[in-house]
Amino acid sequence: MQMTEVMVSRDIIEPALAKARQGIASYLDGALREGRIDQQLYAEAGRQTYTNLEHWLTDEDIGRLCPNLKPGILEVIKNQRWEWLVNAFRQSVRFGTGGIRGMMAFDRESIVRLKDSGIDAPILKGPNTINDLVMLLTSAGVARFGKAQNPPLAKIVIGYDSRIRGHDFAAVVAQLFLAYDYTVYFFDDPCPYPEVTFAIPEESIKADLGVFISASHNDYRYNGYKLSCANGSQFDPEERDAMYNEYIAKSEPSHIRLKPFSEAPEAGLWFLGGAEPIPEFDYSGREDHLIDLHRKHRDHVKSFLLTPDLAEQEKSSANPLKIAYCAFHGSGRIAVPRLLREVGFTDVKPITVGGLNDLDGLFPSFCSDPGKEQQPDPGDARAADIAVTAFKKEFPGEFEDLDILIGTDPDADRCGVVVKVPENQRHLYGGKDYRLLPADDMWALLLWYRLEREIEQHGQVVDADKKFVVMSHTTSDSIARLARKYGLGVVRTWVGFAALAAGTRDVWEGTTAEIVSLEEGRDAAKYVSLCHPFVCDCEGMESTKRSINVAAVEQSNGFSILGGPPPDRRSLGAGGHVRDKDGTFAAMLVAEMAAWAKEQGTNLPEVLDRRISLDPDVGLFVTFYEPDPLDGEYPGIEGDRLKKEILQKSLDAYHTALAGGLEIGGLPVKAASIYRTGKYDAIYPPTPEFQFPDEGIRYFFDDEKRSHLTVRPSGTGNSLRFHVQLHTYPTESDLIATKGRLLTQGKAILDGIRTLLGAPRART
C-alpha cells in the first residue's frame, strides 16, 4: 500500500469545503421540500454529512494512509455531485450480523477505475462506502477488540473471492492484523467462503476469528467484510454489538498500522491453498508455509456421501449423470468441478462462455442492460437463464441430455440447481424445458433423500428421537412436515445462517426452554419483550434427547449439516459440517441425489412430485420469492425514505387485515402477524408511529396458516423481500392442474402486494 500522500494544499481544500457545505445544504433542502426524504433523514444527514466530509479531507493520518483519497473527493465536489457526497458521508456503513456490506462506488466508471488503478484509486470514498480506509478502520476495531479479550485473540484466517481488487483489500487487512501481532492464515487465491469457515476451527489451525472480503451475490458495485468467530459461525449479537460499539465505532485512523508480509515473524504468517504454490502468487519467500486447505475441506465434505461406491457406480453406469456447472464469475470455478470429479462424476462441464468461469468481479454476464445491474445470484431464475443460454452456446445439442445444471454465487456459499421440466408440465413454466428448482424444494428433496437412504441402509432413521432440523421462518413448511413425518424435531429461527447456527447451539446447550410461538407476533410490543434472540418456534422438541442436527436450511439457497454437540465452543459439531452455508458441499450432495434418482429410472422433479407433494403427510407446497427492488437496493438517502414508506404501507395493510377488509391478489387475508425483535432499533429508533418490523409482516390466506405472504425488510440495506407460500393436498390425477392454479395464484399475490405497497418491479 503506497504511503506517499498526494499533496493537496489548504488553499484548495478550504474553498472546496465551503462549496460542498452550500451544495449539501441545497440538496437536502430540496429533497425535503419535494418529499424525497423525510424530516428524520434530513436532520441526521444535515448533522453528519459535512462534519464527516471535513474530517476525511483534513485528517493527516487519512491522507497518509490513502494518498489519492482527497483528489477523488475534490473531483466530486468540483462536479457538484451533491447527492453522491450525502450518500457517501451521511453515516457509517451499517454493521450487521455478518459484518459490513455496501457499494464501493455509485457508478460503473468509478468501479472500472478501481479495477484499473488499485484500492487507492482517486474515486469518491466516504464512511458510507466500502473502501480501503473503511476496511482498515473496521479491522483496527476488530484487532483491538481481540487483544482486549482474556485470553487475547491471536490467530486469524483471511480470504477473498472474485470481487474487484479482493486480493488487495484482503492483503492490506492482513497487514494490519500482522501489525497487531496476530498470526495470519492468508488464502493464496480467491476461495469459497465455506473454506474460510472450515479453516478457522480446523485442527491444524484453530484460529480465533476470520475475515472474508466479499459481497456474496450482490452486483459488481458492492463489496463487504464478513466476520466469523472461532467456530466458523457469525458472532452472536451481544459479542458483535460489544465489538462494534466499543471498538469499531471508536476506531480512528491513528489506530491503523501495517506490517508487510516480508516483515512478518517466521511463525506469524501462513498461506492456505492447495498442495503446490501458485506460480504467480507472491509468498514472500515462505512457500514452505503453505497448508493444503483445499484438500482438507474436500476430504471433510466427502465424508457426508451416502453412496460409498458412487465412483464405481458412475464409472460402470451405461448412462452416468451429466452435470453442467456455472461459477457465475466466482470462486467456485475450481473447487466445485474438482470436488464433483473426485467423488466420481465423470461428465462435469464447466460453462466458460462469456467468461462465466473467469474470476471477473465486473460480472460481465450480468450487465447486459446499461444502468441495470443484475445480481449473480444462483437463486434467481434470470441467472439460470444466463447459465442455460451460455451452456447451449458452448455445447450445441447437448442440453437435451443434460441431467442437472449447478450454479454457485461468487463466494460459493449458495447453491442453485436447474432441472429439466417434464414435458407434460412445461406449459406451467412458459413452455421452457428447464426451470430453476426453488431452494425450498431442493432442500426438501435433500432431506427426504438422506432420510430414505438411512432407512434403506439401516431399516430405520437411526436415533430419530435425537435428530432435528433447523430452518429460517421464511423457509417452506414442507421441510418441517417431512421432518415430523420421520420423527425428527423442528426448530425455526429468524432469518440468516447466524440464527440457524445459534439456534442449533442453543439446542446443543439446552437453552431453548423459553421459546415463544411465531403467533405471539400479533402484539408487537409484547412480542419484543418475549422474543428469543434466535429461535422463534419449535415442533417436536419437547424431548431433551434432541441434539443432532441433520439439516440447516434457508430459503436463500443456503445449506449445511451441523451435527451433534461439539467438544467445545471453538469446534465444528460432532459429525457436522461448517456452521455457515456451503454451496460446494450442497453441490456434491445434490449431485449424489440426482445420480441416485437416475439409477432408479427417475429424476428430481418426479421424486418431488410423487414422494413429497403427493404424500398426505406433507402435501403440495408452492413457494415464491422476490426481492424489492429486483436487484441491488433503493439507492441512498432517498432509498431510505422509500423503504420506510413501503413498510408503513405494509403496516397499514396489517391493520386493515385485522379489521377483516384486506385482499391481496384476489385472496382474502384471514389473519396477520408482525414479527419484530427490535434488533435494529439503533438504526431505526422506534416511534409511536413507526416500529421497524425487522422479521417481517405476514398475511395468512387460510385458517390453518399454511398459505401466506411475508413482507420482510433488510435491516442494513434499502431493500425488502416478498415470500409467498401456498399449500394444498392434490391427488395424482389433479396434481398438474393444482400446481398450475397455485403458480397463477402466487404470481397474482406478488403483483397484488407490489400494487398495494407501490413497489413496482423496477430494477436499479
The DSSP string of 391-450 is: HHHHSTT-GGG--EEEEE-TTS--EEEEEEPPGGGGGGGTT-SEEEEPHHHHHHHHHHHH
Q: Characterize the bridge pairing of strands 290-292 and 269-273.
A: parallel
- The answer on pLDDT for 525 being more than 70 is no
**Residue 466's pLDDT band (boundaries 50, 70, 90)?**
very high
What's residue 11's pLDDT?
A: 86
Tell me, which fold does domain 304-437 have in CATH?
Alpha-D-Glucose-1,6-Bisphosphate; Chain A, domain 3 (3.40.120)
What's residue 374's pLDDT?
A: 87
Tell me, which fold does domain 441-581 have in CATH?
Alpha-D-Glucose-1,6-Bisphosphate; Chain A, domain 3 (3.40.120)
Q: What is the percent of the chain with per-residue pLDDT over 70, rounded to a whole number? A: 96
**Residue 208 contacts residue 177 (beta carbons within 8 Å):** no
What integer is the mean pLDDT of 209-236?
95
- Answer whether the bond into residue 629 is a cis peptide, omega within 30°: yes
What's residue 717's pLDDT?
A: 87
Which residue is listed with cell 487487512? 173
CA distances from 433 to 419, 736, 740 (A): 9, 15, 16
Q: Which helix (H) or strand (E) holds 481?
A: helix 477-485
What's residue 56's pLDDT?
A: 97
- The answer on pLDDT for 403 being more than 70 is yes
**Residue 597's pLDDT band (boundaries 50, 70, 90)?**
very high
Residues contacting 444, CB < 8 A, separation 6+:
476, 478, 479, 482, 608, 612, 621
Find how far residue 631's CA is from the centre of its chain.
14
What integer is the mean pLDDT of 169-182?
98
What's residue 330's pLDDT?
A: 97
Mean pLDDT of the chain: 94
Q: Dihedrals φ, ψ of 347, to 5°?
A: -120, 80
Domain boundaries, the chain: 1-91, 304-437, 441-581, 621-757
What is the identity of the amino acid at 29?
D
Report how far residue 475's alpha carbon sits from residue 532's, in angstroms, rounded to the nearest whole number.
19
**Residue 96's pLDDT band (boundaries 50, 70, 90)?**
confident
Closest CA to 153 of 209, 231, 236, 210: 209
- The answer on pLDDT for 159 being more than 90 is yes
Q: Dihedrals φ, ψ of 604, to 5°?
A: -65, -45
**Residue 706's pLDDT band (boundaries 50, 70, 90)?**
very high
3-state DSSP assignment of residue 272: strand
Count other Cβ atoms within 10 Å, centred on residue 173. 27
What's residue 2's pLDDT?
A: 45
List for the chain the helix, strand, coil content (%; round to 5).
45, 15, 40
What's residue 542's pLDDT?
A: 82
- The answer on pLDDT for 153 being more than 50 is yes
**Residue 764's pLDDT band (boundaries 50, 70, 90)?**
very low
Q: Characterize the bridge pairing of strands 720-728 and 620-628.
A: antiparallel
Q: Which helix (H) or strand (E) holds 460?
A: none
pLDDT digits (tens, 9 = 90+) for 496-523: 999 999 999 999 998 775 566 666 555 5
Residue 317, class by beta-carbon neighbours within 10 Å (0-12 exposed, 13-18 middle, 19+ buried)?
middle
For residue 55 the three cell numbers come to 474530517
HSE at residue 121, side-chain half, CA atoms within 13 A, is 21
What's residue 520's pLDDT?
A: 55
